[in-house]
Amino acid sequence: MNTRTETRQERKQRTRQELLGAALRLVEDKSFSSLSLREVTREAGVVPTAFYRHFESMEALGLALIDESFRTLREMIRDARSDPSMFEHVIHRSVAILVRHVNSNRPHFRFLVRERSSGLAPIRHAIRAQVRLFASELATDLARFPYMNKWSTEDLQVMAGLIVNLMVSIVEELLEADDPEAEEEIRRLAEKQLRMVVMAAPTWRSKPN
């Protein structure tokens, strides 16, 4: 039994994680806002009132989930950036990485894309802020690519927004897909869509008329 030599902090962290995990498991079939505090504690295996030792409300737990989810998303970006074969097959590699990370973190991604548009205002806004941040980082990355290195900041932002949008909708579709060939089809179309979007790069010039 390893609980024997468990410090108090550790124990607290553990049940905190259990609460977060329980919520994540439960939003698989229900929306977060229709999730009750008692359901979460029941799933986590603690008594309802224990919830308050960790979060002051369900909304607070939701915000914590956002933190957690974006931590895994940042891992993904780090993966993508450190991929040496990236520059040649950017699109192919990016989509591959995205698909892989969605598959190994389905609950987190599901939570994010759902609550991004539905959900309580504070949660919605927290997610959208993070996504915008992500888009900004992408924009600076884009500046290193051919054709785009002369673009204005706004143009880069717009292009980044476009790509992030696309990524969000790819994630949405991946989450709806269950069988692997549906996934393969999504991946194929996703790559095509991305290619179309970046195809604008060589031709683009701000304020065309």
Smaller CB separation from a copy of itself, 25 or 30:
30
Please give the structure tokens belonging to residue 190: 């996703």
Q: Which stretch binds a copy of itself (CB under 8 A): 16-24, 42-50, 111-119, 177-185?
A: 111-119
56-115: which residues touch DNA (CB under 7 A)?
57-58
Cβ contact 27:62 at 8 Å: no
33 binds a copy of itself (CB under 8 A): yes
Instruction: List phi, psi (to 5°) of 24.
Output: -60, -40
Beta-carbon count within 10 A of 158 CB: 16
Q: Which stretch binds DNA (CB under 7 A): 22-30, 53-61, 97-105, 119-127?
A: 53-61
48 binds DNA (CB under 7 A): yes
34 binds a copy of itself (CB under 8 A): yes
With CA atoms as reference, report the closest residue to 67 among 11, 34, 23, 6: 23
User: E strands of the chain, at which residues?
Assistant: none
Nearest-approach distance from CB 25 to DNA, in angstroms: 15
